[in-house]
Structure 1
Amino acid sequence: MAQSETQHRTAGGVEYELTRKRVRNINLRVRADGTVAVSAPARTPLGRVDEFVAGRAGWIADARQRQAQRAAAEAARPVPDKAAALALFEASSARIWPLFAEIRPAPPEIRVRDMRSRWGVCCPAKNRITLALRLAAREPDLIDYVMLHEYCHFVWPDHQPRFWALVARYMPDWKERRARLRG
């Protein structure tokens, strides 16, 4: 099988798409549409991959249910157009930027993009924060959480403990907000 070639398989009652990649471990992902993607090292026997997937059939069923609930909740939230979303995000940035004014003399440029797998992206080199259009359909305190999260990346580019300590310094209830955002 070529490295980028995919194969459709079934194990433990779970249909999945197998891709052989240069990875160390077998990786499993339930996509937003409920399909299951598995990547595995080229030399891992198919039986081992099937066993891995079958052993996680219960977890996969739960993940599919969570994905369906998220999709239903998201469909119930009307997403504003990009101009309205940008206005919401710029207002949030105006609330958060004063906390970082000493290290960011100019507020960052705020952009909106239709992103499916992320809420936001920070690009310190370009002094830019890009937020997902669908975030505009969420509550203002959740928008502020994502905005603060991205601002903290101007200080710490990774998600190490020092990054989370900075988030907690300015937003002690960040874990509760993140849980609501994911739910």
Structure 2
Amino acid sequence: MAAKPCAQLRSVEGIQYELVRKKVKQLHLRVRDNGTVMVSIPLTASLEQADRFVLQNAQWIRDTRVKNITKRNKDNADLPDKATALAYFTAMSDKVYPAFAGVLGGQKPVLKVRSMTSRWGVCCPGKRQITLALQLYNQPPAAQIYVVVHEYCHFLQLNHSPAFWAEVEKLLPDWKARRELLKK
């Protein structure tokens, strides 16, 4: 297994960024949702080239950071408190649970809700726990039930293998269309 490239923190004219040397042909720039900047450069590129690249894209970096903050604020503006969301998702979970009661030994999983920025849900089979993103509350109901079913299916298959997707399809033949709703 190849070693993961080591990141180096750099700063140029007030813009801090994470620099990674990789087997790439050109320089790449990414602004993550949390506002951090990552730059990938070819193994042969100089640090000066990386700094120059960041400076050339400084306005785009600033604009993207503002756009990300605005989107995050908009997405979170209409969210209910966690207790309200938990009650809502518990009712949804209760409808899905009977299909998994056997594998769960007749014991419902613990359901939690928390703010998450990169996932809609997480299943921890060992803890018998499903955690759903508070942000899922603002998604269409068809997408919400898809996420709940998806997480329950992890009690049957731990990974995203073809067997896992077959389990999802048994309950939601239109799962792909439902998943697409989350990308909009």
Query: TM-score, normalised to structure 1's length?
Result: 0.71
- Please give the alpha-carbon distance, in whole angstroms, between the structure 2 residues aligned to 1:69 and 1:16: 21
**In the alignment, which residue of structure 2 is the partner of 1:123?**
124
Q: Which runs of 4+ in 1 moved over 4 A?
A: 23-30, 33-36, 66-73
User: Which residue of structure 2 aligns with residue 162 of structure 1?
Assistant: 163
d(CA) in 2 for partners of 1:70, 1:176: 24
Bigger Rg, which one: 2
Q: Which residue of 2 aligns with 1:74?
A: 75
The secondary structure found in structure 2 opposite 1:46 is coil
- Shift in Å at residue 39 of structure 1? 5.1
Identity of aligned pairs, percent? 39
Other structure's SS at 2:182 match: helix
Specify the code of the residue in structure 1 equivalent to 2:45: L
Asked if the contact 2:86–2:111 (Cα under 8 Å) also holds between the matched residues in 1, the reply is yes
Shift of 1:116: 1.0
Tell me what 2:88 maps to.
88
Distance change >3 Å, CA 95–CA 28, structure 1 → 2: farther
Structure 2 CA distance, aligned partners of 1:7 and 1:110? 41
SS in structure 2 at match of 1:107: coil
CA distance in 2, matches of 1:28, 1:153: 34
Distance in 2, matches of 1:114 and 1:86, equals 12
Note the residue ranges of structure 1 that are not aligned, 5 or more in a row: 10-14
Preserved CA contact (<8 Å) 1:120 1:146? yes
Deviation by residue 1:132-173 (Cα, 9 ceiling, x = unmatched): 111122222221111101001111111111111111111011
Counterparts in 2 of 1:67 and 1:159: CA distance versus 1, 3 Å: farther
- 1:34: how far off? 6.4
Contact 1:4–1:20 (8 Å) recurs in 2: yes
Distance 1:182 1:67 in 2: 16
1:142-181 paired onto structure 2 within 5 Å: 142-181=143-182
Q: Give the CA deviation at 1:123.
A: 0.4
Unmatched tracts of structure 2, length 5 or more: 1-5
TM-score (norm 2): 0.70
CA distance in structure 1 between the aligned counterparts of 2:70 and 2:99, rounded to whole angstroms:
35
Paired with 2:170 and 2:116, the residues of 1 have a C-alpha distance of: 28
Alpha-carbon RMSD across the aligned residues, in angstroms, is: 3.6
